[in-house]
């Protein structure tokens, strides 16, 4: 028999001292290895018969190998988990964990639990030393930051919330993404592959070519008056011009605000009015599957709207996306609108770098909140650069030979951190895909994977579930042998989708980095490290270096061991956002006042007896639809703007594909009847004001809403009705009119 030595149950010093048991893995149907406690050495041995494995090599998964560091009661507590080894067999519902293989761990950047624990402990006990060591050794700084690496106050009781990292250090993110890599010999390495919506159309840029394109746009922006600290609003689809624009702004110290090119003109105008940009950059149109979306028309309407509110923009730089729409068919305003192709290529291909302080603004990204107004999340330069690059490197076990594809749009934080900045800071080759993932058929993703030999594939559970529903045959017709690491982002991935992703897409040989993080955190907070941890399908596992997650109850008391509650973080990390643009009070109220001394994530979380973290979704009035955070107040505001809607209340419900769907209870104005025409009109109103992704999945007619005597809507009851959990409605006696509940139940299927 062969022996696979793996870790005792995870013990994380300083953070999870309550985890006091080990696990034991038993054989399943005589095909899985047997893990047993070695009482002499205190380690766990995984025994596998050679007859059960089609290989002759000796697995060895190293670990923290002594019981000396464990509480005395640890040896006595053993939980039974079934497991499968990476690459040996598919993961089934009976399998509790997926173990890294010896081959993968041997080549991994973090090859064992012991190495993770060493690095994690160093990052918690000495964060200044840990992060300054990475920052100084792996990035270029024009000037160092002096003796103080960071300063922080996360407790509103002690004054204003303040987070600073590497303040006084002078650097530039674009320089570190491009010039530094070129100087390191990567000038001719492919930086960007671009795949069109239409099969057969593609393009590439090397790092040197990308730098030239970035410099040309940077020089143009300077010529129209964009200076350090000025804002530029970007409303572009996934063309190469999108990361080019982001990097060009960064090069000259301008602050970019990328708006997802799916938001409506009203939403775009709202962001323009808030940040007051010098320039808006867009393209005339984009093809999304068979559909043409006229982006320039949306921008035109937004600019009219913002001008009516007192904010005028003098320059609208427009890229001609010829595969979607010819310029002669594009609406145009002389004096304001300028074709990208007519001006940008005329500028020099070199541009001086604007060196900035580590705490100078890098970008502004709006995210939905629990009130109607989106929040302008502000990230600064130095800490974000260091944290994003480091999380990318370790969470994906990045190698120089990797071809990396993240399916996210740069209009969201994932596109900032893990399409553009994180990968480029590591000198990676990145794939951009313009179109729909199921166009012209559900096999398009895997066709692209094979075409470019993609090794790291990072996507959202929504896409996984959608492709899963389309059937295995669209996956298995393609090789996918290049894939090495898979990733999940945007929302918790349910275990069945995790297993399908692992078994079918990854062929049971690719670990899944199931990442938890937020727009506000800048980068991964809780994530598996491929090669280090046994994975539980659906669990984000353990914290990244420097991150101290805690689970608290309603009173803010930290909970130990196996528990569920509110997920908070104590102490800062380099990638943390610094404020909400123009509204620091809202920043403090939203994130730091609920539980003083902690950053409150707004998410619920469970921790199991093995210390693994399981995210349970939003606990505030924000719905996570396909990984996009949508404030219920935003949708409600759009609905009640309809002249025939008197009142609306929106809740989230489970959705088979999206994760969460939008469920709207609507009360029409007096005298207006329920009708299919009104239903469609209400949905269209939301699509117009916010965007198609925010359209309600269900309109539930409501003659009235359940309210307390003080007038507060009882959303707890609405959530139960929406989920058809009618036996869990709880006490309704406090309602001003309890009979409303019965009325809503009767109208559930109307």
* Catalytic positions, written as ranges: 620
Return phi, psi of residue 46, to 5°: -100, 115
CB 95 within 8 A of CB 534: no
Locate the DSSP E strands across 229-353: 231-235, 255-258, 279-283, 286-288, 291-293, 315-319, 337-339
Instruction: Report d(CA 6, CA 653) in Å as an integer.
Output: 40
Query: In this structure, how many other beta carbons lie within 10 angstroms of the beta carbon of residue 71?
Result: 15
- The number of angstroms, rounded, from the C-alpha of 252 to the middle of its chain's C-alpha atoms is 27
Query: Residue 595 to residues 82, 197, 255, 676: CA-CA distances in angstroms?
Result: 38, 46, 31, 45
Q: Residue 713, exposed/middle/buried by CB under 10 A (0-12, 13-18, 19+)?
A: middle
Two structure tokens written together for 394: 């370790």
Where helices occur in 281-348 by DSSP H, the ranges are 295-308, 340-343
For residue 47, how far is the Cα from the chain centroid? 38
Q: Give the three-class secondary structure for 467.
A: helix
Look-up: residue for tokens 């949508």?
630
Tell me if the bond preceding 354 is cis, omega within 30° of 0. Answer: no
Report yes or no: 260 and 286 within 8 Å, Cβ to Cβ: no
For 29, the token pair is 């149907």
Q: How far apart are CA 619 and CA 603, in angstroms?
A: 5
Q: Which residues contact 658 (CB under 8 A, 6 or more apart)?
A: 462, 625, 626, 697
Q: Pull the structure tokens for residue 627.
A: 């990984």
Query: Quick one: tokens of 678?
Result: 């009104």
The distance from CA 196 to its chain's CA centroid, rounded to whole angstroms, is 23
Token pair 């934080």 is at which residue?
A: 413
Question: What H or E segment, with its residue span, contains residue 3?
Answer: strand 2-6
CA-nearest of 503, 497, 505, 522 to 514 is: 497
Provide the terminal-to-terminal Cα distance of the chain, rounded to the nearest Å: 64
């Amino acid at each position: 028999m062969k022996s696979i030595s793996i870790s005792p149950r995870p013990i994380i010093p300083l953070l999870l001292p309550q985890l006091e048991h080990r696990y034991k893995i038993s054989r399943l149907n005589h095909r899985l290895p047997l893990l047993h406690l070695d009482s002499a050495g205190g380690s766990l041995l995984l025994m596998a018969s050679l007859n059960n494995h089609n290989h002759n090599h000796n697995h060895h998964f190293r670990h923290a190998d002594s019981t000396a560091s464990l509480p005395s009661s640890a040896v006595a507590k053993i939980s039974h988990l079934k497991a499968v080894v990476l690459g040996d067999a598919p993961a089934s519902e009976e399998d509790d964990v997926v173990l890294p293989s010896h081959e993968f761990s041997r080549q991994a950047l973090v090859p064992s639990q012991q190495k993770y624990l060493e690095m994690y402990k160093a990052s918690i006990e000495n964060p200044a030393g840990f992060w300054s060591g990475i920052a100084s050794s792996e990035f270029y700084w024009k000037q160092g930051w002096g003796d103080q690496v960071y300063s922080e106050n996360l407790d509103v009781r002690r004054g204003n919330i303040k987070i600073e990292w590497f303040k006084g250090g002078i650097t530039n993110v674009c320089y570190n993404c491009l010039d530094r890599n070129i100087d390191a010999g990567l000038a001719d390495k492919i930086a960007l592959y671009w795949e069109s919506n239409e099969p057969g159309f593609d393009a590439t840029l090397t790092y040197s070519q990308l730098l030239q394109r970035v410099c040309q746009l940077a020089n143009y922006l300077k010529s129209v008056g964009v200076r350090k600290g000025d804002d530029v609003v970007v409303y572009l689809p996934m063309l190469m011009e999108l990361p080019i624009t982001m990097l060009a702004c960064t090069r000259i110290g301008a602050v970019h605000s990328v708006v997802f090119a799916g938001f409506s003109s009203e939403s775009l105008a709202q962001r323009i009015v808030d940040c007051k940009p010098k320039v808006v950059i867009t393209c005339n149109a984009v093809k999304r599957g068979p559909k043409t979306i006229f982006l320039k028309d949306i921008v035109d309407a937004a600019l009219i709207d913002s001008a009516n509110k007192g904010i005028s923009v003098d320059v609208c730089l427009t890229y001609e996306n010829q595969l979607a729409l010819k310029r002669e068919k594009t609406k145009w305003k002389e004096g304001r609108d300028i074709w990208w192709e007519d001006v940008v290529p005329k500028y020099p291909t070199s541009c001086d770098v604007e060196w900035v302080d580590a705490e100078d603004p890098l970008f502004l990204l709006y995210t939905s909140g629990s009130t109607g107004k989106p929040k302008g999340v502000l990230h600064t330069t130095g800490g974000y650069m260091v944290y994003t690059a480091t999380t990318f490197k370790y969470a994906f076990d990045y190698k120089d030979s990797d071809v990396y594809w993240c399916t996210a749009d740069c209009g969201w934080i994932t596109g900032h951190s893990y399409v553009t900045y994180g990968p480029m800071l590591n000198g990676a080759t990145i794939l951009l895909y313009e179109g729909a993932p199921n166009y012209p058929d559900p096999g398009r993703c895997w066709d692209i994977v094979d075409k470019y030999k993609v090794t790291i594939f990072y996507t959202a559970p929504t896409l996984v579930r959608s492709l899963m529903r389309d059937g295995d045959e669209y996956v298995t017709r393609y090789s996918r042998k290049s894939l090495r690491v898979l990733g999940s982002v945007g929302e918790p991935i349910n275990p069945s989708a995790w297993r399908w992703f692992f078994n079918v897409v990854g062929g049971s040989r690719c670990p899944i980095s199931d990442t938890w993080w937020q727009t506000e955190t800048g980068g991964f907070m809780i994530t598996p490290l491929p090669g280090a941890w046994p994975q539980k399908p659906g669990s984000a596992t353990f914290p990244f270096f420097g991150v101290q997650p805690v689970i608290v109850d309603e009173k803010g008391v930290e909970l130990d061991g196996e528990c569920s509650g509110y997920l908070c973080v104590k102490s800062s990390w380099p990638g943390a956002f610094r404020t909400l643009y123009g509204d620091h009070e809202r920043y403090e109220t939203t994130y730091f006042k609920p539980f003083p001394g902690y950053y409150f994530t707004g998410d619920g979380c469970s921790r199991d007896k093995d210390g693994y973290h399981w995210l349970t979704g939003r606990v505030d009035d924000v719905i996570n639809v396909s990984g996009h955070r949508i404030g219920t107040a935003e949708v409600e505001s759009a609905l009640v703007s309809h002249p025939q809607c008197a009142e609306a209340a929106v809740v989230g419900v489970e959705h088979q594909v999206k994760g969460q769907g939008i469920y709207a209870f609507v009360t029409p104005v007096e005298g207006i009847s329920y009708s299919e025409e009104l239903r469609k009109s209400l949905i269209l109103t939301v699509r117009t004001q916010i965007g198609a992704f925010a359209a309600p999945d269900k309109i539930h007619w409501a003659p009235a809403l359940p309210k307390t005597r003080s007038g507060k809507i009882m959303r707890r009851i609405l959530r139960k009705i929406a989920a058809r959990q009618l036996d869990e409605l709880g006490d309704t006696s406090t309602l001003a009119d309890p009979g409303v509940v019965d009325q809503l139940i009767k109208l559930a299927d109307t």
